[in-house]
Amino acid sequence: MRLFVLQLFRFIGLFSVLYILFFLFVLPRLMVISQGPNIKDQVDQSFKNALNRDYDILVLGNSRTYRGINPDLIEIPTYNFSLDNDTYNQLYYKLKYLKTNNKKFKALILGMDYFQFSFISDTRNYAYASYFDSDYLNDYPSKNYVLLYHLRKLKPNRAEGLRFPRKNRPYLKQNGQFYREGKATPNDRANRDISRKEIQVKYFENILNYCAENNIKVFLLFLPTRENEMKSYTDNQIKEFHNFLDQYLTENVFLLNFTNDTTYSIDDFADITHLTPKAADRFSKQLNDTIMAIYLSSFTPSILNEGINNSEKFINSY
């Protein structure tokens, strides 16, 4: 009996040591080789470039804008400050971060998703906490997010993302867009929640108020969305959602809704929700035309009609 328990402890002990060493030190490096920069590196690079680069338009949003907008294809200097899984509270603190660092811009492209109000993301807190005001964490339960981050590294399913290094390895561009290839399949599914948490509505309004105070134009942007994802919502829910959004639309807040743009097919998606880099480029050009039309209409009335004609089907359409 004693021998059995002793052997078992030896076996488990040796395995645990190997496991911890591998998951803490080897796997993160392998993941970088296989999957590109980790989230912490992405956050650091993204925040650094947000201060170092010059731009007039800022893009904020979640992974859909992070991957789906290529600032290089927008005629006005633009920076993509989005990140996977960002929610409005985090986007608001990003604006505050830029303000604290005296970074100014003239327009904001704010990524919109029907599910975007339904949760409060905490998966980046270990990284964001060092960039944001201390009150950022007041919206979250008191936890040691850095310790949790390291513990999370030990979760067995972290190894799932490990693949053989690919030719087109994901990477973060200097302009803030995340490049990631992929191929959507007809069976991709997503369960989305269209409900709105009060806290996210509050931060969404904070963002709009901030922009109004600083004379920043806001483009509320819905990117092209797959039918499979839209199945999560009913027509009534979408109608109600837009009724909600309508109250925020002003002469400086525009709604650009590309959700049902039929020119995007399954081949343009990398998975259930993200555009491929190629489709992102196409979309960015399209977005550029639309924004330019609005921008120019603000200053040059003669071009207004032409610009609007090109883009009217996307502006405020739903």
**Which of 76, 105, 81, 67 has its CA nearest to residue 223?**
67
Q: Is 25 in the site for other proteins (CB under 8 A)?
A: no
Q: How far is the CB of 161 from other proteins (least distance, A)?
A: 11
CB 280, min distance to other proteins, A: 21
Pairing mode of beta strands 57-60, 107-112: parallel
Angle, helix 88-100 to helix 39-52, in steps of 10 degrees: 40
What are the tokens at 67? 């991957």
Does the footprint of other proteins cover residue 20 (CB under 8 A)? no
Q: Which one-letter amino acid corresponds to residue 151?
A: L
138 contributes a contact to other proteins by CB under 8 A: no
Residue 4 makes contact with other proteins by CB under 8 A? yes
Tokens of 155: 């979760």
Amino acid at 199: I
How many angstroms separate the CA atoms of 261 and 165, rounded? 34
Interface residue with other proteins among 33, 146, 159, 201 (CB under 8 A) is 159
Strand partners, 78: 57
Residue type, 72: D
Q: Examine residue 157 and tell whether it contacts other proteins (CB under 8 A).
A: yes
Q: Closest distance between other proteins and the C-beta of residue 86, in Å?
A: 25
156 touching other proteins, by CB under 8 A: yes
Question: How many residues are given for the chain?
Answer: 318
Strand (E) or helix (H) holding 128: helix 125-128
Q: Does 11 bind other proteins (CB under 8 A)?
A: yes
Cβ 159 to other proteins, closest distance in Å? 5
Of 216, 220, 223, residue with least CA distance to 284: 223
Residue 110 bridge partners (DSSP): 60, 220
* CA distance linking residue 263 with residue 258, whole number of Å: 10
Using the contact rule CB under 8 A, the part of the chain among 1-9, 98-106, 215-223, 242-250 near other proteins is: 1-9
55: its two tokens: 């731009």
For other proteins, the binding residue among 21, 162, 201, 212 (CB under 8 A) is 162
With binding defined as CB under 8 A, does residue 18 bind other proteins? yes
Regarding 17 and contact with other proteins (CB under 8 A), the answer is no
Looking at 32-40, 58-66, 124-132, 157-165, which segment touches other proteins (CB under 8 A)?
A: 157-165
Which residues 165-224 are close enough to bind other proteins by CB under 8 A? 183, 185-187
Residues at the interface with other proteins (CB under 8 A): 1, 3-4, 7-8, 11, 14-15, 18-19, 156-157, 159-160, 162, 183, 185-187
